[in-house]
Each structure stands twice: as structure tokens, then as C-alpha cells.
Structure 1
Amino acid sequence: MATAKIVTWSRADKNAQFPIGIKVSQNGIPAYLFEGNALASRDLWDATKQQVKKSHPHHMRLTNFLIKRLAEINEKILEFETDRKRYSAEDVVNAIKPKPIQEPPPAPKPPLFKDVADNYLQEQKGLGNYDVWKSDRSKLKRFYEFAGEDVTFPKITVEYLRRYTLFLRTGRNLNRKEGHTPLSDRTVTNHLLVIRTMYNRAKTAGLVGNKTYPFGGKEKIIIKFGKTEKIGLNGDEINQLKQYQFSAQHTHLHDSRNIWLVCFYFAGMRITDALLLKWSDFQNGRFYYTMSKNGEPGSLPIPPVVSAIIEEYKTAGHAHDLVFPFLKNLDGLDNRYMVRRRINSVTRLIGEHMGLIMGLLKINKNASPHKARHAFAQRAEEKEIHPKVLQKMYRHESITTTMQYQSNFSHKKADEALEAVIDF
């Protein structure tokens, strides 16, 4: 069994003081507990009586403290004897030593919104999604104008987003160089969608919880997609476009008109797929391609109008087996990012060209590349084509998507109802 007693150190320390404390011995091996108490001289300690002599100014207080610590050590020795088979003097001393005060670990820093957003943008760029990368980078830049780059997710509350929405609605549309044109409702919605995407990614990564999630549900931010009027060219206007003969000063508009018509006649094909149209896509009198947006394959008959258009390009020998010349300056089509970047630029150019063409035709309508899809949908609604047929042509995964899309062009029943009511 271990023993313990009060002792003073035999040698003075650097302050010429003699430390006084408890010595614990077990099997001839000692361990010491010194807690900063010391005597100016060893003569101030009465080893026989185990007490500090009265000549010490605080003899009673120091003696009582040492006796109390000795009693605690003896009690600890009894515990070791009772509970453990083997222990050392050092084990006893360590069990008695005051535990150092542990500083609480620093609170974890809330995750920065920008860290998640930067990872997202890098991911989109790595995947080659230039159009997504460019569009969302612009929206995030606008958000940092409002929030700063050090904004954290907990700060993005419902009230915070309402103030951001007000900021957007009163801000200038950066795409308009003149005047103070506010952002449209759809543009504001698109900005909020990016914020929600970043929040969802942070939730998936375990950086934030549902408690602070500001979107959806009662008294939170609900993102609604407002409907916009979709107006396409009608049959007469498409015939004007098709038959127009460009003068020498407008020959540069010819290719843009042709690819727009191909988009229309191929069931509203998206401009990205039209720009990537290859000669190898035409087999046995049909056109085969996989839609780039959702990877849905399919085929269509080749209308005579399209046959006549692409016949113009057969001898041109454009690079990469492409029908149209817009991507001929690319080194190849394997670098998705560079391809999408070029497509983004070309799409904007074709839109500008179609605006000029509409001016030449004196047609007061927007004929951007995507409007070819609207024109086809409008004609399909007028001809009462069954949604199931259109679903296959549009390559929609769900018939609901097709019906919702076509509802933008469904005016016949409403027109008939209005006429029936007012015809008296």
C-alpha cells in the first residue's frame, strides 16, 4: 500500500524558496505533488508535528491546506487499493492534481455562401456547361452586390431574401445599356432559384439544416414561375421569311434565316442541336438525333423545305461533319466547354440577325432562335395535334410537360367562349 507525507524540498529553487508539498511512495518509487507553496527556510517546517512553525506569517492556513491535501491523497490511496489491483505513486498524484481548465473549443465558423457557390461554378465549368456557368455566375455577382462575399447561410433568412427581392426589382437590368429598365418577374425568380440551388447543395453537404431553410412552406419564400406570353410567327410570316431574297448587303443574314427555318421544320428543334447538326444524322430519308438537353433520342422525316436548305451546304465541306458553318472555327467538338461557349455566342448573333430580318420583313415580332419552337407549338395547337404525338416530337419525358407547354398557345376555346358570350 502506498504511503504519503508532507515534505519540503532539500534544495532552494531559483527564488531561494523551498517548495513544500506531498510525497507519495509506492514500492519504493516516489511521486510528488507540489502546488506552488514554498518556505523561505526549511527551519520553518516542523517535520515531527507535520506542521508549519508559528514563525511563518500564514502558518495555520498553510498547515491546514497541506493536511487537507494529505487527507485527500490518503483517501485516494484507499480507493486505488479497493478498486485496482496495481497502481503507482504517480497514478495517485495524477488523480489528485487539479485538472487544467479546458478552454472551450472555438465555435465553428458558419459556412460561407460563396464557398459553396464557387464549388458549384467550378463544377459547371468542369462539366462544360458554359451557358449555365455564365448565367449563374452573373446572378451570383448580383447577389454579392447586395450581400457581400462574406455572407453566411444563417444570415440568408426569409426577411433577408425579401429585401434582396426588393433590391432586384428596383435595380437596373444589366443587359440593357440604356435607361433604368427594372428586372422582369421571371428574371427575379431566376436569381432566387440560384440562391435556392446553393442552399440545397449546402443542405446535402450537411453544412446547414432544415431549421434555417428559407424556401417553401408557410411564411417562407415560395418561388413561382409566372407565365409569359409566348408568341410565334404564324404561317404567312414563316412563308415570308422562307421566300425572302436577300440583297447583296444582307447576304450575311442568309445562314441565320436558314438555321431558324430548320429549327421550325424539325418540330421546334433547339438551336444548340441545330448548330450541331451533322451530315451523318441523315439516314434513309430520315433525320436522327439525340436531344442535347435531356439525352432523348428520336427521328423525324425530312421536310422538302429542309432538304432544299441543307442542299445548299453539301458542297461547302464544313469542319467536323457539320451542316451549318457557325462552328467551323472550333478545333474540335470534344471540348464541351469551348463548344458551349461558341454556341452561346453564335446564338446571340443569330438572334441579332433575326431581329434585322424581322425589320426587313416589317414584322413586329421577336424571332429569336427559341421562337422557332414557339412558332411550331403555335401551329401545332391550331392544327389540334394530339399532345401524345407532340410529346414524342418534343422529346418530353412527361405528357404533363407537353400539355403545360402547349397551354401557352391554346386560345381557340377561350376565343369561342368569348364570342359566344358577346354575340347577342
Structure 2
Amino acid sequence: MTSNAKIVVRKKPNKEGLYPLAIRITKNRHSTYHYIGHYIDLKYWDGKNIRVRKSHPNSDRLNLLLSTKLSEANKMLIDLQSQQKDISANQIKKQLYSSPESTSFFEVANDFLHELELNNKLSRLSADKARVKHVLKFTKSKQLTFPEINETFLKRFQTYLRKKHNLSERSIVNNLVVIRTIYNRAIKMGVVDKKLYPFGATKIRIRFPESEKAGLTKEEVKKIESVTGLTENETHARNVWLFSFYFAGIRVSDVLKVRWDDIYDGRLHYRMSKNAKLLSLKIPDKIVPILKHYLDDKQSNTDFVFPELKKANLSDPKDIFTKSKTANKKFNKYLKQVASKAEVQKKITMHIARHTFGTISEDKIPINMLQKLYRHSSITTTINYQSNFIHKDTDDALDSVINF
């Protein structure tokens, strides 16, 4: 018997009460379904004429899509029949929709995210998963194809992020970077022709806006150091922040991994999580009181200095990441209270400890030495980072003109 394809609305609504559009493939009275990825209210479906009613706001686009999908399916069915292949409806569906060209954006995105997870790049995984979810919420379809991601699509997506989610320009760029990464991956897989690539000098250009990096001044740090009347949680958050600052802005995830046996010969020895670099830094005198504060809780030389990871499953990177992320959120909450009690107007977070070191160091430390302290792989990264905090030359130049 011949096989056939037909556009149908499946009677299985989603959480919003909308029904999925699908292509039904039938062979020998057995049917299987390929979901197109779009959902509609039943009142918009014209079952007699098998089309979306004109009253639907996107009827023209949806009907064009349905017509295209049905035409593609029938063409491939004719090709299969001409080869006299006696296969089932499910086998027909597999042959029709398993080609690379039918691979959706989200299928490639899921592979990309899974690879991040396998490589324990959990911080990036957490951020990029949210960005992929933004695309899904924007398109409302899991069947988004790469040819659909053109300049118009990307411009509309930027407007959506700006208006609907109130994202900063830097965050919007980060979302575009993830789409670009996944698109490049699809090109290498042969899923989409590189001629359709929507990014580039004459298309969508990704430009990172300059971000303001402002740390605390010496006077503000002194206020944080000397403030009294703190609760136990506020004191702990202040200690972790100062520990990070005194060591040139060690990231909070690395601070929490410091063990007592990492401290010997008057130095801190640790390996960075971000790039696995080994570091050895002198213990500043100001660190000593902080270490003494936690000495009574020390259970062994291999114990963590700070308590957040003491109950973590150290063989599970996800558990370590989750507990570190939770701790960072907790610290930032209490640092806000510390700042209020210290009468510091600037917002203080764990990450600001790194900016604060940059602000106070200004141009006092040679750039190659700052590269070592910041643990940057490239000195260019250090130059670009430190340029956010060096204002003396421009201030002097301004004064030389206007002070007359």
C-alpha cells in the first residue's frame, strides 16, 4: 500500500492549553507523527481546509510553514516509493527527518551543553543554559532551524531581550555569542551551509560594550576592615571578601577550596579552577587574624579553611559548583549589610574584591607583575583589565587644560 503525509493538530495540549501541529505519516493504516514545533488554540484550526484560520495573528507565516513542510514530506515519500522500499511508517519518519538539514538549533545546543557538562565547565554551563532557554522562550518552538536564524531573527531577539527581560547590552551580546557558537558548531556538522551565516562585518556584528569596573577606594576598604557590630554571618562574609582582596582578588570558588595544608612556609599554594594554574603567594600580615578566626574549627590539615565545602561531595563537581554558587549568593547578601553598617555607598559583592585590588593598585605595579597576581594567561588581558582602573594620565591631561 502507498504511504501518505497530512498536516494535523494533535489532541495533546501543552501546559498553556495549546495544541501541537504535526505531520502525520501513515503506512498500512499505521501512523506516526513528526511535530513541527508550533502550537495553536483549537479555535484557530480550520480542519476542513487543513489550515490555520486568518484570525490567527501569524496565520500567513504558519500556513506557509505547513505548506512547505508538507511539500517536503510528500517529495521525500515519492522518492522512497520510487525506490520501492517496503518500510513501516516509523522507518519512513526516520528516513524523512534524520538528515542533518532537519536538525534543529536546540538539538545542536543540547549537544553543546552536554559537552560542557562532561568537561565539568559548570559555571559556563549554568550561564549558557539560561541563554539557550531565552531563545526557546522567544521562538516558542523546539523545531527552530538554522536557516531561520537570520539577521531579522537576531535583531528581533535583541529587542525581545531588551524589552521583555530588561537585559544589559553586555548580557544581550553574551546571548548572541552563544547563538554564534552553536551556529558555528552546526556548520562544522554540515547541518547548515556557511553561506547562511548571519554574523559578520556586513551582517550582525558582535561588539562587546565597555563595562564599568569600579572597586572600592583605600578609605572604603579601611571602613570595611574596621566596622564593628557585625553579626556572625556578616563577619564571615567580610572575612571571605577580605581574604579574596588580600590575595589580589582570588575568585570565590577558589577561596572556598583553600585547605589548611595549602598554607605553609608563610605562603598560600593553590591551583586555579579556571585554568588549572599553580600559584604561590606570600601570606600578608592582614590574613593572619582571619585564619585564626577559623582555627578552632580545623579538624585536620586537609580540612577546608572556610566551612562552605566541608559537607560537599568532593567526587561530584556539580555538588561543589552548586554549594559554591549558593555560598557566593549568601556572601553578597551579607556584604550588602556590611557595607551599610560601614557607611560605604558602593555595592559590594565578592567579585568587587578583584576590582578593588585593580582600583587601588592603579599604575603602581608593573604590568607583568599584575599579570602574575591576576593569574592571566595573556598580558593583553591584564592590560585591558587594568585600563579600567588607571585614570591618572587622563586626569592630569584634563587638569592641564582647564586649570588656568
1:320-359 to 2 correspondence within 5 Å?
321-330=303-312, 332-359=313-340
SS state of the match for residue 309, structure 2? coil
Tell whether the 8 Å contact from 1:146 to 1:164 is kept in structure 2 after alignment. yes
Partners of 2:96 and 2:244 in 1: how far apart?
A: 60
Equivalent residues of 1:129, 1:340 under 8 A apart = no
Amino acid paired to 2:189: A
2:218 aligns to what? Answer: 235
Which whole-Å CA distance do the structure 2 matches of 1:258 and 1:343 have between them?
Answer: 16
Per the TM alignment, residue 278 of structure 1 is displaced from its structure 2 partner at its CA by 0.9
Aligned to 1:268, what secondary structure does the other structure show? coil
2:146 maps to 153
Measure, in 2, the Cα distance between the counterparts of 1:291 and 1:251. 28
Q: Quick check: 1:275–1:343 contact (8 Å CA) kept in 2?
A: yes
Shift of 1:299: 0.8
Structure 2's unaligned 5+ residue stretches are: 1-80, 86-94
Corresponding position of 1:311? 292
Normalised by the size of structure 1, how large is the TM-score? 0.70
Note if 1:417 corresponds to 2:401.
no
SS of the residue 1:299 aligns to: strand
- Residue type of the alignment partner of 2:327: V
Question: Is the CA contact 1:318–1:325 (under 8 Å) kept in the aligned structure 2?
Answer: no
Greater shift after overlay, 315-324 or 268-277? 315-324
Name the CA distance, whole Å, in 2 between partners of 1:337 and 1:293: 15
Matches of 1:112 and 1:254, distance apart in 2? 50
Q: TM-score, normalised by structure 2?
A: 0.73
> Aligned partners of 1:216 and 1:328: how far apart in 2?
48
Distance in 2 separating the partners of 1:126 and 1:352:
31
Return the letter of the residue paired with 1:241. I
Q: Given that residues 381 and 410 in structure 1 are in contact (C-alpha distance below 8 angstroms), is that contact kept between their aligned partners in structure 2?
A: yes
Cα RMSD (Å) of the superposition?
A: 2.0
- Structure 1, residues 5-55: CA drift from partner, whole Å, max 9, x if none? xxxxxxxxxxxxxxxxxxxxxxxxxxxxxxxxxxxxxxxxxxxxxxxxxxx
Does structure 1 retain, via aligned residues, the 8 Å contact 2:248–2:354? yes
Determine if contact 1:129/1:336 at 8 Å carries over to the other structure: no
- Alignment correspondent of 2:132: 140
CA contact (8 A) 2:170 2:208 kept: yes
Give the distance between the partners of 2:132 and 2:287, measured in 1 at CA: 41
CA distance in 1, matches of 2:241, 2:257: 13
Secondary structure at the aligned position of 2:238 is classed as helix
Secondary structure of the corresponding residue to residue 289 of structure 1: strand
Deviation at 1:399, TM superposition (A): 0.9
Deviation at 1:341, TM superposition (A): 1.2
The alignment partner of 2:344 has SS state of: coil
Partner of 1:395: 375
- SS of 1:300's partner is strand
Amino acid at match of 1:223: I
Report the AA paired with residue 154 of structure 1: P
**TM-superposed deviation, 1:253:** 1.1
Q: Does 1:221 align with 2:213?
A: no
Which structure would you say has the larger Rg?
Answer: 1
Partner of 2:42: none
Shift of 1:277: 0.9
**Conserved? CA contact 2:223–2:344, under 8 Å:** no
User: Displacement, 1:208?
Assistant: 2.3
Residues 101 and 124 of structure 1: CA distance in aligned 2, closer, same or farther (over 3 Å): closer
2:7 corresponds in structure 1 to none
The 1:318/1:133 distance shift into structure 2, 3 A limit, reads farther
Distance 1:208 1:276 in 2: 43
1:378-407 CA distances to partner (integer Å, 9 max, x unpaired)?
11115x211011011111111111000000
**SS of the residue aligned with 1:321?**
coil
- Preserved CA contact (<8 Å) 2:303 2:310: no
Task: Name 1:264's counterpart in structure 2.
Answer: 245
CA drift at 1:103: 8.0
- In the TM superposition, what are the counterparts of 1:48-127 in structure 2 within 5 Å? 101-102=82-83, 108=99, 109-127=101-119
**8 Å Cα contact 1:169/1:188 also seen in 2:** yes
SS in 1 for 2:172: helix
Q: Distance in 1 between matches of 2:194 and 2:239?
A: 51
2-structure distance, mates of 1:310, 1:201: 47
Q: Which whole-Å CA distance do the structure 1 matches of 2:205 and 2:239 have between them? A: 42
Output one character per residue of 1:79-101: Cα deviation in whole Å (capped at 9) or x when no partner: xxxxxxxxxxxxxxxxxxxxx95
Q: For 1:292-303, what aligned pairs fall within 5 Å after superposition?
A: 292-303=273-284
Cα 1:103–1:365 change in 2 (3 A) is farther
* Distance in 1, Cα, partners of 2:189 & 2:148: 18
3-state SS in 2 of match to 1:287: strand
Aligned residue for 2:351?
Answer: 370
Distance in 2, matches of 1:377 and 1:318, equals: 35
Offset of 1:130 from its aligned partner?
3.0
Question: Secondary structure of the residue that 1:315 maps to in structure 2?
Answer: helix
Match of 1:166 in 2: 159
CA separation in 1, counterparts of 2:374 and 2:360?
14
Deviates more, 1:354-363 or 1:367-376: 354-363
Identity %: 36
